[in-house]
Every structure is written in structure tokens, then in C-alpha cells.
Amino acid sequence: MKTTIKDIAKMAGVSTATVSKVVNHKDNNISEATRQRILNLIEEYNYVPNRVASSMVTKKTHSIGLVIPDITNPFFPEIARGVEDLANQHGYHVILCNSDNDLKKEVAYIAMLQEKMVDGIILTASAMREGETLDLGRIHVPVITVDRDIKASKIKGKIIVDNKSGAYEAVSYMLNKGYKRILHLAGPFTSGTSKERYEGYKLAHENFGLPIYEELFVEGFYTAEWGYEGIQRVLNEGIDFDGVFCANDLIALGALKALKEKGVKVPDDIGIVGFDDIYMTTLIEPRLTTVHQPNYQMGYKAAQMLVDFIEEKVVKEKKIILKTELIIRESS
């Protein structure tokens, strides 16, 4: 049998109220003698407060749900870590959910989180297909989205990254460097980030007064496999290009691999620029020029905003747009 507050109260000859007060440091009107007596008993009998019982009365579980597509995707651990760090600092714990970019799973997880009475949810929404929509109508805890901007009602806050300007900066840099025909290996257009990065690509060309060649834009997926395949396809079609702007680093890594295998020299023959700045970009040869995304910051800020909502502090900014940073390395 686990020791409960009642056991301690009985042994100390006080009421449970008194024990509760000392456990929660609301012991301003408890005599030092009693306090010590209780503390000793707690120690001796290894009393561990049952937080689920507390939650029943306080209506707070001090837990937050984190719903992301896949922790295995190198993009997400940093976000998760940022969330967890801030949460931990404030006494919250985080429940990890992998939605696999599947709206059904996502909805199921959110429902589950609600049943578990989490105090709030941080969500990187799955890419939605046409006609799909995420209904948060029945959720009554704050929801913050991270990285992906979705249009669903009831979202209390957003943390996003300025993808368009990040891409703009990267492509401008390439154009400045003299690249003329920049291939854009895009992510899936069901993802808003992918679209925004494409827009940055376009805008840079426009500002330079350069045309956009249709054959230099290829839509795909956010994976290394696709980067690998995409390059091969373009090469096989005989399309000419002197630089590649990839919608994320995974694509870039795949592309780089494919180019190397074809004997193409990077950056001498063709330059590559990625997006995200995931850890491994510095471990490869040549190190990848890329657009740094502040992932840890995103997670951290999201959690911060969520906790502010939960604790009913005033939240000044409900939409935080984080800046990217172009990191120039040797691949371009």
C-alpha cells in the first residue's frame, strides 16, 4: 500500500489539510514543530503525493501534448527539445505524439490528449490534402501551432518561420554569385512551407529581372530519397542547370549524393543550397550552405506562449514570426 496524505495526517495527529499545506508550501500558518513532524514522516514513509488526485481538484494536469509528424525526421527533435526544456522549467511534462502526417491519427491523438486533460497542445499539423480540414471546435484548451501555418479555428497562437524571406535570401545569394539556371527541388505543395519557399525563389528571380523556367521547378517530398530521385530525373531529362535550391536539407543531401554519384563536382560544377540547417549538414563534404531555421527556438517559444496561455498571463504576440539565417558553407 502506498502512503497517502491521510496516513501521514493520522500519524502526525493533524488533518489532511495541514499536511496538504506543508506539502504545497502553503505553510505560513503551520508551526515549525508540526511542519517538521510532517516532513519527517513524509521522508520516513516515502510519501509521494498523487498528482492525479490533485489534478481532480485543481483542474490542471501540468501536462502538454506535443503532436508532430515524426520524431524520427531530423527536423523535429530540436523542436521537441525546445518544448520539453521550457515545459520542464515550468513544471510541465510533455506527451509525445507522432502523427505520421496522417490527419486521422492526428485527430485521434488530439482527442486522446483531451481525454487525458492536458493543459494545452502544441501542434505541427500534418500536411492536409484538398478538402481536408482540422476541426478543433471541440477542444477547450489552448492550441499553438508550430512551423506550419494552418487555417483552423480555435488556434490560440502560432510560431512560424519566415520561409519566404529565407528562400528569397538564399536564392538572391545564389543569383548574386552568378548562378543562372537554378533548379528548385520543392517539397509537397500540400505543405504551406513548401509553397512559401517557392514564392521566395520566385520573388528573388523577379527582383533580379530574371525569368523562371518551368522545367526548373519540380515538386516532390521532403525526403532525401526524393532529392536523390529528383536529381536523377532532371538529369535524365537532359535539363540544364548550374545550381540547386532545395526546399529542405534532406532533399539537398539526397541531391548531393546523386550528383556525386554522377561525377558532378559540388560546388565547382553545380552549387547546392538547402533549407533547415539540420545537424548533419556540417558533417558532410562539402558542408551544405543552407538557411538556418531556429527549430529549438520555435519549440521553446511555442511552449512559452502555451504556458502563458495556460497560466492566463497576457500574451502580447499571438503570432511570432522567426527569422531565418543564411549560413554560407562550401556547397555553393
Contact positions toward its own copies, by CB under 8 A? 2, 46, 48-53, 55-56, 61, 63, 66, 70-72, 74, 76-78, 80-81, 84-85, 88, 93-98, 111-117, 138, 140, 224, 253-254, 256-257, 260, 279-280, 283-285
Q: Which among its own copies, DNA, none contacts residue 280 (Cβ within 5 to 8 A by kind)?
A: its own copies
C-alpha cell at 253: 543531401
CB of 4 to its own copies, least distance (A): 12
CB of 170 to DNA, least distance (A): 51
Q: Which among DNA, its own copies, none contacts residue 138 (Cβ within 5 to 8 A by kind)?
A: its own copies
Nearer of residues 70 and 199 to its own copies, judged by Cβ: 70
Q: How many CB atoms lie within 10 A of CB 231?
A: 28
Q: How many CB atoms lie within 10 A of CB 207?
A: 12
CB of 136 to DNA, least distance (A): 20
Size of the chain in residues:
332
Nearer of residues 18 and 145 to DNA, judged by Cβ: 18
Q: Which residues bind DNA (CB under 7 A)?
A: 2, 4-6, 13-18, 20-21, 23-24, 26, 29-31, 33-34, 47-50, 53-54, 56-58
Which residues, listed in sequence order, are joined to residue 275 by a DSSP beta bridge? 291
Q: Which among DNA, its own copies, none contacts residue 16 (Cβ within 5 to 8 A by kind)?
A: DNA
Nearer of residues 285 and 311 to its own copies, judged by Cβ: 285
CB 288 within 8 A of CB 238: no
Reduced to 3 states, what is the DSSP secondary structure of residue 313?
coil
Q: Which among DNA, its own copies, none contacts residue 25 (Cβ within 5 to 8 A by kind)?
A: none
CB of 91 to DNA, least distance (A): 13
Question: Would you state the torsion angle of the CA atoms of residues 293, 296, 302, 307, taken in this order, to the nearest 10 degrees?
Answer: -170
Q: What is the 3-state secondary structure (H, E, C) of 149-215?
A: CCCCCCCCEEEEECHHHHHHHHHHHHHHCCCCCEEEEECCCCCHHHHHHHHHHHHHHHHCCCCCCHH
Q: Which among its own copies, DNA, none contacts residue 232 (Cβ within 5 to 8 A by kind)?
A: none
**What CA–CA distance (Å, rounded) separates 194 from 187?**
5
- At 159, which amino acid appears? I
Q: Which among its own copies, DNA, none contacts residue 279 (Cβ within 5 to 8 A by kind)?
A: its own copies
Nearer of residues 103 and 117 to its own copies, judged by Cβ: 117
Q: Which among DNA, its own copies, none contacts residue 70 (Cβ within 5 to 8 A by kind)?
A: its own copies
Percentages helix, strand, coil for the chain (3-state, rounded to 5) are: 45, 15, 40
Reduced to 3 states, what is the DSSP secondary structure of residue 231?
helix
